Amino acid sequence: MHLTPTSTQPTAALAGVPSGIQSHGVWAGRRQVFIRFATEAETAQMYSASALVKELTRAATRATFHSIGVAGRDPVGNNEFLLAVLAALDVSLPVLLETDGQRPERLASFQGARGLTVVQVSATLGEGDAAFDRQLATLQAAAAIGVRHAFAVTPGPDVPDAVVLRAIERVHATAAGTEVVVHPVVSEKPGQLDRRWATLIEQASAVHADVQLLLRIPPPAGLR
């Protein structure tokens, strides 16, 4: 369905409002309705804030969801649009805002945003030092506005365990209340997971209490 935005409301390019199982992070395995901001490679539709509110309300009245997941390309960069949606949305679902953590300066605008429950920074630790510094700043900003904050990391295959541990140490030093989720890279035989991941979590838990190891839920069952 093509939705024509009004000229007086903030608008955004969305890849749709799908529903499904969250694939990763602190609410992995939860059934969510998603607000998916479109990437450059995805077919997009322009939504006005009011049109999205109507669609989310319709979805929430027709089925049962744990929460709303906000993901896709640069949702924090679309803060004006997203804040307008949250302000008008009248459904009792908590909201998880996923971000790559590259716009920490925008997060202050979400203070007191209706329904916002978790800000989750997703990373691979292959983004570079400057990008990681901004991810840490985003976690710090989320703590400052008083919402739950999480760091969901899926280390790239070339990322050493020592780098993962150092990253978790820096997360702890920056925002000690961060919930850390480590998604292992499963390259072993089906049904097996290298014991090094248990060792990694043991070491990580020694420096940051809230660390968990979770397998990602792959598509098509898992969405993000």
Predicted confidence (pLDDT) per residue in 174-205, tens digit: 999 999 999 998 765 656 678 889 999 999 99
pLDDT of residue 189: 60
pLDDT of residue 151: 98
Q: Is 80 exceeded by the pLDDT of residue 7?
A: no
**For the chain, percent of residues with pLDDT exceeding 90:** 81
d(CA 57, CA 37): 18
Name which residue leads in pLDDT, 122 or 218: 122
List C-alpha distances in Å: 129 to 7, 77, 136, 160, 170. 40, 21, 11, 15, 12
d(CA 94, CA 190): 35
Helical spans, DSSP H, in the chain: 49-62, 79-88, 129-144, 161-174, 196-207
Please tell me the least confidently modeled range out of 62-71, 79-88, 164-173, 213-222: 213-222
> Across the chain, what does the average pLDDT equal?
92
pLDDT of residue 6: 47
199: exposed, middle or buried (C-beta count within 10 Å: 0-12, 13-18, 19+)? exposed
pLDDT of residue 41: 74
- What is the pLDDT confidence band of residue 42, given thresholds at 50, 70 and 90? confident
pLDDT of residue 220: 86
Name which residue leads in pLDDT, 190 or 221: 221
Task: Please tell me the pTM assigned to this model.
Answer: 0.92
- What is the pLDDT confidence band of residue 168, given thresholds at 50, 70 and 90? very high
Please tell me the least confidently modeled range out of 59-68, 71-80, 103-112, 136-145: 71-80
Name every residue whose Cβ is closer than 8 Å to that of residue 170 and which is 6 or more positions away in sequence.
Answer: 132, 136
